[in-house]
């Protein structure tokens, strides 16, 4: 039984791991009850029942018997193993038997038309057809009873003959109708196949794919196997062309995509290369600019240092200045500044005028002078001088200390007085009544005894002379600040 073997094979493939449950016992019990019955007898019983009506219970019982016999006969001994569910198998076989019974019953009801073959009645049929044709043409004819006598002589049952004749007519009409319908279907298939051929030439693949599906369904609807085979071969040829066309188009699409990707990659590479070149150029230009700037700074710094060193040249008569200072007991000069400025003084190699600091980006964290003092310095062209005092208690110290300055007093060697451009002021150089100059006479104009006094009051006549100053051009090198390492 092919259907049953298919089902068994299906369940073998699935190999379900369900354990045999208690409901399988009912199936085994029904198999045992019908063990002695024969399958052909049950089939004959079902054949008989298929011609009867109102026998549902008998049909169901017979199908159950047949199912149990088939399971017992076809299923191997492995039925006892837990890989099969007997209830599912029984239900599946029972359902197939039910379908088979319904088909047989329907065939019994429909019956078949027995088409007479070439026999001894053919001659009578031809003569009858001619007779009926003359009647339809209303021709005056003599009814020849010999036709019927001949039929009787040949021992043909006339009633059966006419019944068969009527059935033949019905059969022919039905076949003619089917043939017309089949012709329409063939024409439709031909039209679809032609359309597939046309869409293939136009490379409309989506429409072709849709038409192929339509053609496949239309061919399956044909009756004649020869026609089916013919159309299927033609469709297969077209499908093969379609597949090749698909491959060609896909290959062309991939080729174009690859070409686009290659061009895009080349474009990106060139852009990246261009960016790198521009970056390299910018970097090179920046490096060149930086190098030039550094060189300019170095040159400027070198020039600045050269100029600064040039300021340390001694006066031609510097010994006279030394003698005057020694005669008056002057051994050191003083400069006060905030403690926070000491690190900058060390880093920059000495004390510088505020003007030089501004021009050379040297930041004075806490400057002692205000804008007014700078304006006065500029007025008297003393903006590029470092101011030193002879006394260690300059009145400005007290004022700045009161303002929150953390002042330290730097000691400066008297050698700075020997520099060519060093000047001397008889009082505070911002005072409008001061007098300054770089000659020996300017140094001798200073009241040394007033500078040596301590804590001179404002109302004292020597208050201003106490503030006499030494004005050192631009800078004082670190080595001339004798107590710098104490801070």
Q: pLDDT of 143-181, one tens digit each?
A: 455 555 555 555 455 566 566 667 777 877 888 888 888
For 144, 194, 228, 245, the CA distances from 205, given in Å and listed in that order, are 70, 15, 24, 8
Which tens digit of pLDDT belongs to each residue from 90-110?
A: 777 778 877 777 777 776 665
- Average pLDDT score, the chain: 81
Whether the Cβ atoms of residue 460 and residue 353 lie closer than 8 Å to each other: no
Instruction: Determine phi and psi for 387, rounding to 5 degrees.
Output: -95, 125
- Alpha-carbon Rg for the chain, nearest whole angstrom, is 66
The separation between CA 54 and the C-alpha centre of its own chain, rounded to angstroms, equals: 71
Query: Per-residue b/e over 409-444, b at no fewer than 16 CB within 10 Å?
Result: ebbbbbbbbbbebbbbbbbbbbeeebebebebebbe
**What pTM was estimated for this model as a whole?**
0.45
E strand or H helix at 424, and its extent?
strand 423-425
Q: What residue spans define the domains of the chain? A: 2-110, 157-241, 318-486
In order, the DSSP letters of 343-392 are HHHHHTTEEE-HHHHHHTT---SS-S--HHHHHHHHHTT-TTEEEEES-S
Distance CA 447, CA 157 (A): 177
Distance CA 145, CA 286 (A): 130
Which tens digit of pLDDT belongs to each residue from 477-486?
A: 999 999 999 9
Instruction: Determine phi and psi for 51, rounding to 5 degrees.
Output: -95, -5
Instruction: Determine phi and psi for 118, rounding to 5 degrees.
Output: -65, 110
Tracing tokens 């693949």 back to the chain, one arrives at: 205
Provide the residue-wise pLDDT of the chain in tens; the chain has 487 residues. Answer: 455 555 555 555 444 444 455 667 777 777 777 777 777 887 777 777 777 776 777 888 888 887 888 777 766 554 444 445 667 777 777 788 777 777 777 766 655 444 444 444 455 555 555 655 655 555 444 545 555 555 555 545 556 656 666 777 787 788 888 888 888 888 898 899 899 889 888 888 888 889 888 988 888 888 777 888 888 888 898 889 888 888 888 888 899 999 999 999 999 999 999 999 998 988 888 888 888 888 888 888 788 788 888 889 999 999 999 999 999 999 999 999 999 999 999 999 999 999 999 998 899 988 877 888 899 999 999 999 999 999 998 888 888 888 888 999 999 999 999 999 999 999 999 899 999 999 999 999 999 999 999 889 999 999 999 999 999 999 999 999 999 999 8
Whether the Cβ atoms of residue 323 and residue 428 lie closer than 8 Å to each other: no
Sign, CA dihedral 96-101-106-108, equals positive
Tracing tokens 């008056």 back to the chain, one arrives at: 328
């Amino acid at each position: 039984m092919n259907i049953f073997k298919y089902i068994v094979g299906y369940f073998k493939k699935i190999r379900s791991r369900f354990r045999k449950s208690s409901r399988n016992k009912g199936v085994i019990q029904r198999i045992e009850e019908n063990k002695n019955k024969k399958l052909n007898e049950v089939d004959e019983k079902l054949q008989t029942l298929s011609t009867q009506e109102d026998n549902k219970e008998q049909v169901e019982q017979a199908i159950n018997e047949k199912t149990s016999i088939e399971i017992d006969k076809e299923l191997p001994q492995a039925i006892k193993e837990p890989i099969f569910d007997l209830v599912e198998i029984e239900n599946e076989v029972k359902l197939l038997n039910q379908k088979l019974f319904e088909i047989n019953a329907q065939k019994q009801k429909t019956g078949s038309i027995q088409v007479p073959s070439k026999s001894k009645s053919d001659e009578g049929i031809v003569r009858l057809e001619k007779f009926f044709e003359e009647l339809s043409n209303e021709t005056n004819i003599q009814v020849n009873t010999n036709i019927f006598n001949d039929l009787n002589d040949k021992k043909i049952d006339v009633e059966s003959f006419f019944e068969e004749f009527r059935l033949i007519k019905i059969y022919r009409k039905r076949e003619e109708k089917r043939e017309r319908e089949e012709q329409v279907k063939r024409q439709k298939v031909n039209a679809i196949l032609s359309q597939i051929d046309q869409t293939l030439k136009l490379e409309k693949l989506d429409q072709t794919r849709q038409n192929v599906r339509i053609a496949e369904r239309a061919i399956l609807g044909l009756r004649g196997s020869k026609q089916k085979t013919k159309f299927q071969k033609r469709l297969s040829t077209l499908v093969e062309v379609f597949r090749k066309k698909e491959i060609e188009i896909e290959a062309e699409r991939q080729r174009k995509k690859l070409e686009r990707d290659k061009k895009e990659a080349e474009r990106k590479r060139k852009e990246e290369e261009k960016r790198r070149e521009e970056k390299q150029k910018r970097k090179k230009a920046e490096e060149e600019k930086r190098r030039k700037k550094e060189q300019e700074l170095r040159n400027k710094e070198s020039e600045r240092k050269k100029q600064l060193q040039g300021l340390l040249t001694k006066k031609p008569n510097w010994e006279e200045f030394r003698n005057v200072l020694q005669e008056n007991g002057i051994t050191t000069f003083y400069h006060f500044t905030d403690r926070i400025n000491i690190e900058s003084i060390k880093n920059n190699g000495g004390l510088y005028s505020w003007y030089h600091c501004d021009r050379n980006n040297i930041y004075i964290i806490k400057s002692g002078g205000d804008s007014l003092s700078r304006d006065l310095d500029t007025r008297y062209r003393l903006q590029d001088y470092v101011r030193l005092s002879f006394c260690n208690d300059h009145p400005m110290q007290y004022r700045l200390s009161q303002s929150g300055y953390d002042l330290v007093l730097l000691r400066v060697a008297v050698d700075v007085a020997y520099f060519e451009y060093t000047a001397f002021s008889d009082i505070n150089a911002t005072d409008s009544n001061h007098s300054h100059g770089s000659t020996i006479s300017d140094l001798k104009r200073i009241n040394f005894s007033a500078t040596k006094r301590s804590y001179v009051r404002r109302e004292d006549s020597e208050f201003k002379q106490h503030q006499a100053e030494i004005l050192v051009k631009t800078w004082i090198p670190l080595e001339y600040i004798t107590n710098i390492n104490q801070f």
